[in-house]
Chains A and B, each alone.
Chain A
Amino acid sequence: MSQSEQMTPLTEKDLSYMKDAIHWEMLACKKAYQYAHQTLEPECRQLMFQVAEQHQKNLEAIVQHMGEHVQQSVQCAVGGAQPMSTHQPQM
């Protein structure tokens, strides 16, 4: 990842979609895992486990990307740029 890409901030829209996607993946993962235990037919059972595992990986990928942004905002704060939450005009 290049320096300029690292500095691109996350928009509100991006963030809310990421939250949504995490919920989709969590539900799909739990569902597939439960179905895998209930399924009798071996091939379907194995496929269900694969599905659950893949959804967990997808979720982790999104969370990992989110984590990179958290680190980045910390670096910004150390570098002098103020995060939005602490930026308040002093009267």
Chain B
Amino acid sequence: MQQQQQQQTQMPTPQFKFEGGHLVMYHQEATGLPTTRDSNVNDRDRMTDMLSTEKYLNSSYDTFLNEASHEALFQVVKQNHTKCQDLQRQLYTTMFKKGWYKLAVADAQSVSDAFTKATQLKTQLPFPSNLGQMSSNQGTNVSITKAMQEAQQQMQQQQATPQQTSQTAQTGRSQAQTVSPVQSFTPAQQQAATQVQSAVHSPQQNQH
């Protein structure tokens, strides 16, 4: 059984070539597309049907895994899911090799455009880039602990100075009130405004 599994995993990676903007096998085998065109089910139809059956099984198993509660059952289903994914891949590779699949190649310009946009998006990521340290988990752990320390420091700072921050917010508000009304209002309104200001200021003075 192990030998079989090894054979399955050691499928030769297909060699590609571009043909009229399409990705096709380099050595497309002689069989190619079925020559007879009639209503009978041919080899290609059978392979296509089996491929879609595997796709259906894969999505069904995915739901099963999401819903499963029992741990041992989860492991069994996970293994079955992986096996089905392998089968789907094998069916696809075989069909591609026979030339039963032709895929359009992406335009080089649009690839580089997408890459530029993705690179710009990366500035929003919270952690420093881990490229090059992907194989070692230590790199990510370090950045996570660093982020946690920073978050804790921020929390402590907020806890240490809650009064200061609220006071600055209040003074900021009262300054805004003094600046805007005085310029445009009549003297009587100015008086009223100053009264309101003193009323606003008074609780602060009491605090001091």
Contact = CB atoms under 8 A, between A and B. Distances in A.
Interface residues on B, range: 20 to 34
A41 B43 contact: yes
Contacts of B68: 14, 17
B80 interface: yes
B10 to A, nearest CB: 14
B50 A5 contact: no
B153 interface: no
A24 to B, nearest CB: 6
- The secondary-structure label for the interface of chain B is helix
Given A21-B64, A51-B87, A44 B47 contact: yes
Interface stretch (B53-61, B109-117, B197-205): B53-61
B117 to A, nearest CB: 40
Contact of B83 (A13, A32, A54): A54
A11 interface: yes
A13 B76 CA distance: 16
B104 interface: no
A10 B50 contact: no
Nearest to B65: A17
Nearest to B47: A44
Nearest to A47: B94
B46 A44 contact: yes
Interface string B84-108: 1001001100100010000000000
B131 interface: no
A43 B94 contact: yes
Nearest to B90: A47
Contacts of A91: none
Interface residues of A, number: 35
B64 to A, nearest CB: 5
B8 to A, nearest CB: 8
A68 B73 CA distance: 10
Contact of B53 (A13, A31, A40): A31
A61 B87 contact: no
A25 B90 CA distance: 18
Contacts of A17: 64, 67-68
A25 B73 CA distance: 16
Contacts of A62: 76-77, 80
B70 A10 contact: yes
A19 to B, nearest CB: 11
B70 A14 contact: yes
The 9 nearest A-B residue pairs measured at CB: A58-B80, A35-B46, A17-B64, A65-B76, A41-B43, A11-B69, A14-B70, A39-B43, A51-B87
Given A11-B69, A38-B46, 14 more contacts: A11-B70, A21-B77, A21-B80, A24-B57, A27-B53, A28-B53, A40-B43, A43-B94, A44-B94, A50-B90, A51-B50, A61-B76, A62-B77, A65-B72
